Structures are given as structure tokens and as C-alpha cells.
Amino acid sequence: MPTTEKAYHHGDLRAALLAAAIESLEAGETPSMRAVARRAGVSPAAPYRHFADRDALDSALAVRGFDDLHADLAAALEQLPASASPQETLGALAVAYVDFALRRPALFHLMFGNECDDADSERVRASGQLHALLGDVVAHLFPTADGRALSLALWSLAHGLAFLHLDGKLRPEPTDEVEMRVRAAIITILALNQGEST
């Protein structure tokens, strides 16, 4: 007998709830469990099948954000020609990072606004992938440099620029000016690093 009730296969409800929570965030709302259930078109109790509480939902949203940001950074690398210079490579990563923050500010704030719980293995894994990607790129481009220190400096620069734009300390538009500003900062840091290593 046909039914009009939504039928969720394994995993679909969780994905629908996360999608609803992201839509809520990006609409400037606070994604409470009840609001997410309403937006997803399910009962108020449904979210608790996958998320113990609001903190668990926020953590899952952060994981999704880290995964999406990682995908954006990987895509930026794939679009570079094989002959790309270190400045071009790291500039592309920094631009993609800042662009993600400006396109998805609420999610970006949620990802980095709370201290990462070391007991949350999924969140640790997802954030760790970002550090690993940058670390691998830096190790490849600068095999004799202090990779950890340089990776931290570059991440701090991109992260700081993202929040300076988000907080209105730097103009977040037009896009081409933001990109030039970010690339110029990367070029300057790399020039300083190369000057110290000579």
C-alpha cells in the first residue's frame, strides 16, 4: 500500500538533517534540533536518532565543513599547471581558503569558533586532513625547510586574512581585490622565508 510518508534508507536521514542544518546556518538562523527537524520535514524526535544533542550536531556540521574545505583546497591544487611556482601553489591554496570563509561564513565560524574536542575522532580526523594537505605541499615545495613551522605560518596567514575579511577589517569585495591581497601576502611571506634560508 503506497504511503506519503518520507522513507529514509540507512544514512539518508542523517544526511538530510545535516543539509537542513547547513541551510539553517547559511540563512542566518540558529540550527536548533527542533528547527532542523522542521526544515528537514521530519518529527522533532528524529534528529536524536543520529545526534545526542546540539553539541553533537554542531560537531557533525564542523566535520562536514572541514571535509568541504579540504575538497576545495584539493580542487585548487588540481587546477594548477605542473609548472606552477611555490608562490602560485600556496597562493592558490590561500585564496581557496579565504574564498571558502567568505562564501560560507556561518559554517566557517562554527568550524573554528569552538575548541576541537580531542575525543571527537571524526572532527579530529577532518581537521587533521587540512593540516596534512598543507604539510605535504610544503614538504614537497621546500624539502629543506622547517615544514611544521612554515606550514603553521602559512595557515595562520590565510586564517587571519579570512577573519580580517569576515570581521570587516579588510573589504571582502570585490573578489579580485581579495584574491590579489591574499596572493601578495603569501608572496611576501615566502620572500622572507627564502631570504632567511640563503
- Walk me through the domains of the chain, giving residue ranges and CATH numbers: 1-51 (1.10.10), 54-197 (1.10.357.10)
pLDDT in the model for residue 191:
86
Kindly state the average pLDDT of the residues 171-195.
Answer: 89
pLDDT in the model for residue 1:
34
User: Which among 122, 73, 126 has a CA at the least distance from the CA of 100?
Assistant: 73
Q: Return the exposure string of 176-190: e unless at least 16 CB atoms fall within 10 Å of the residue's CB, then b.
A: eebbebbbebbbebb
Judged against a pLDDT cut of 60, whether residue 9 lies above it is answered with no
Predicted model pTM = 0.87
- pLDDT band at 30; cut points 50, 70, 90: confident
User: Which among 105, 123, 122 has a CA at the least distance from the CA of 163?
Assistant: 105
Q: What is the spatial distance between Cα 80 and Cα 83, in angstroms, rounded to a whole number?
A: 8
Least confident window among 70-79, 100-109, 112-121, 140-149:
112-121
Q: Which residues contact 151 (CB under 8 A, 6 or more apart)?
A: 131, 134, 135, 138
Higher pLDDT, residue 135 or 189: 135
Judged against a pLDDT cut of 50, whether residue 125 lies above it is answered with yes
Kindly state the average pLDDT of the residues 59-68.
Answer: 94
pLDDT in the model for residue 2:
37
pLDDT in the model for residue 96:
98
pLDDT in the model for residue 7:
44
